[in-house]
Structure 1
Amino acid sequence: MSLSFIASPPPKGRHRRVLSAIIGQKRKHHSCPELQRLDGKRVLVTGGTAGIGEFITRSLLAQGATVTSLARGLSDATDDILHAESIYMDLADPKSIVTAVKQLGDTPFDMVICNAGLVSKKAEISPSGYEKTFSVNVLGHHILYRLLMQKKMLVDDARLVMTSGDIYIMENECSADIPFDGTSSTYSRSKLGNLWQVRELSKRYPNIHPIAVHPGVVASGFAGSKKGFLAWLRTKQLVSEEQGSHSSLIGATQDLPRGSYWHNVFGLVDLPESDPGCDTSGSSKLWDQLESITAPYLQACEVKPTGK
């Protein structure tokens, strides 16, 4: 079935919007059309060896792309079965990101898929000195793509796909200074931050094609639920990890506008000005903060921050 790329507004109301994305999700989920051949394309995927990331990697490899995964968990299957290069990287540790980027070689990437993420259940401070969920989901990816940009490792009009999540609608702010205040709130803020990153990238770097995606609510997060409501939710409403990979594949390969937001149920979303994702002041402040934190690591990789 062909996809529509005509943007439409999401359901009104925060709770209604979240519920609309879950109930009936399996039958309303948008699947990625059959991919064209990707021979000669080089793709970088964070967390590309497990979960949703593994299915992203498999789909791209099947069409001839050369895929490199940056992940904490290095599996023998990556090279032997997936035939993808795998490099160790911990998004919570900026020094690890710098080390990983230095191992990527000089050939630019056509696509970067920022797929890896963390749902922290307790207050933790990462090696970066900031709350861990923020460090992994927001700061770590910012350091990564800024290093790639500075080292000229992205082709002109490279796709940069950022995994956000519609749960962001429950929050209004994202900052490195906010401490852990519960799993849901902390994670939701990080997903708002991811959407803001795409907005700022689109505004500041016209030679990059950034897209934010919502993969859907995936059943694997409720794997321990055997009875009751959560079991019904897991088996009847939530999508699989393979289905969850489709939003990133759509973002990476389909004709979506720069800076747009693709939702696995709603499709291309036209966010109203009142939406937290459209808070230009908040996104600009976050960007400036990320740039300030990132500057020393850009210097450590023997490049100078350009700053915009």
Structure 2
Amino acid sequence: MKRLEGKMALVTGGSRGIGKGIALRLAEEGALVAVHYGNRRDAAEDVVHLIEEKGGQAIAIGAGLETALGVKQLVQSLEEALLSHTGDNRFDILVNNAGIGTSQPFEETTEESFDELFAVNVKAPFFLVQQALPLLRNEGRIINISSGVTRIAFPHIMAYNLTKGALNTFTLHLAQLLGPRGITVNAVLPGIVDTDVNASWLHTPEGQKYASEMSALGRIGQPSDIADIVAFLSSSDSRWVTGQMVDATGGSHL
């Protein structure tokens, strides 16, 4: 039996990059995956089709996460989709992956861009968990996608880094709060991963050399490297792991 057979999962920002890899992996493990997207409906539907072609189950759900209203709409859409597909409005796994993946240099950061980063990367996960908790089953799983920048200094993207530090703190306290319900809460901290967000600089000889030499393992991270960790944290195999920040940087800057 697959590890997530009969489970329902929501992956925010699941239409591309790390989120896409996570959605595919959880579906491979047997979960029905709600693939959330912000503006890329076609990309999310492509992920759903990929999952279905492999015999899995998935649905695409769209909602902007820049405002509390968008978060509310996401929860409502999730509940409606689950009722339609399963007859039950509850789910088991929440992966907070959606986020703005970079920021301006410290000296150039504006109040507007700072607020937007925190709205999507911190405020949205906070209120999504708050509003989705009544639907999340006991013994459920919450996985927050943080970043290795909470351990490794990259001051040129400082505002972004601050949002991931906040997400780590959220993870720790949420794990304590939800422990009585048997819900585990963990964060995964990727390093440099080969996604479209990084493609412009990573797919150059200099970028390849820089990124691969950063890791103790001598290569660049792939979405599947992160997705496999999330699959473990989503399963019963991780039942005794909660409140942890799982470094997934390939041993960068040890």
TM (normalized to structure 2)? 0.76
Question: How far does residue 40 in structure 1 lie from its aligned partner after superposition?
Answer: 1.0
2:113 is equivalent to residue 123 of structure 1: no
Residue 101 of structure 1 corresponds to 75
Query: Which among 209, 225, 229 is matched to residue 243 of structure 1?
Result: 225
Q: State how far apart, in whole Å, the 1-side matches of 2:23 and 2:159 are.
A: 28
What CA deviation, in whole Å up to 9, does each residue of 1:228-282 have, x standing for no partner? 5323124663212222323322322242522112112579xxxxxxxxxxxxxxx
Q: State how far apart, in whole Å, the 1-side matches of 2:28 and 2:178 are.
A: 31
Stretches of structure 1 that go unaligned for 5 or more consecutive residues are: 1-34, 172-181, 268-308
| Paired residues, number | 218
TM (normalized to structure 1)? 0.64
2:144 is equivalent to residue 162 of structure 1: yes
Q: State how far apart, in whole Å, the 1-side matches of 2:220 and 2:110 are.
A: 28
Residue 232 of structure 1 corresponds to 209
What CA deviation, in whole Å up to 9, does each residue of 1:145-186 have, x standing for no partner? 10011xx10000211001111211368xxxxxxxxxx76111
Stretches of structure 2 that go unaligned for 5 or more consecutive residues are: 53-57, 80-87, 213-217
What CA deviation, in whole Å up to 9, does each residue of 1:64-87 have, x standing for no partner? 211102221212314433342111
Q: State how far apart, in whole Å, the 1-side matches of 2:48 and 2:189 are.
A: 28
Greater relative contact order, per chain length (Cα 8 Å cut-off, separation 6+): 1
Residue 186 of structure 2 contacts residue 243 of structure 2 at CA under 8 Å; is this kept in 1? yes
Residue 44 of structure 1 corresponds to 10
Q: State how far apart, in whole Å, the 2-side matches of 1:54 and 1:145 are.
A: 20
Displaced runs of 4 or more, over 6 A? none
Residue 303 of structure 1 corresponds to none
Instruction: Sort the Cα spacing of 1:157 and 1:37 in 2 relative to 1 into closer, same or farther, 3 A.
Output: closer
Q: Which moved more, 1:190-199 or 1:253-262?
A: 253-262
Equivalent positions of 1:271-290 (< 5 A) are none
- Identical-residue share of aligned pairs (%): 23
Letter in structure 2 aligned against 1:68: A
Q: State how far apart, in whole Å, the 1-side matches of 2:103 and 2:62 are.
A: 21
Whichever structure has more helix as a proportion of its residues is 2
Residue 221 of structure 2 contacts residue 250 of structure 2 at CA under 8 Å; is this kept in 1? no
Computed over aligned residues only, the root mean square deviation of the Cα atoms, in angstroms, reads 2.5
Q: State how far apart, in whole Å, the 2-side matches of 1:79 and 1:229 are.
A: 35
Letter in structure 2 aligned against 1:249: A
Q: State how far apart, in whole Å, the 1-side matches of 2:115 and 2:156 are.
A: 12
Question: How far does residue 136 in structure 1 lie from its aligned partner after superposition?
Answer: 0.9
2:192 is equivalent to residue 217 of structure 1: yes
Query: Which among 60, 63, 69 is matched to residue 26 of structure 2?
Result: 60
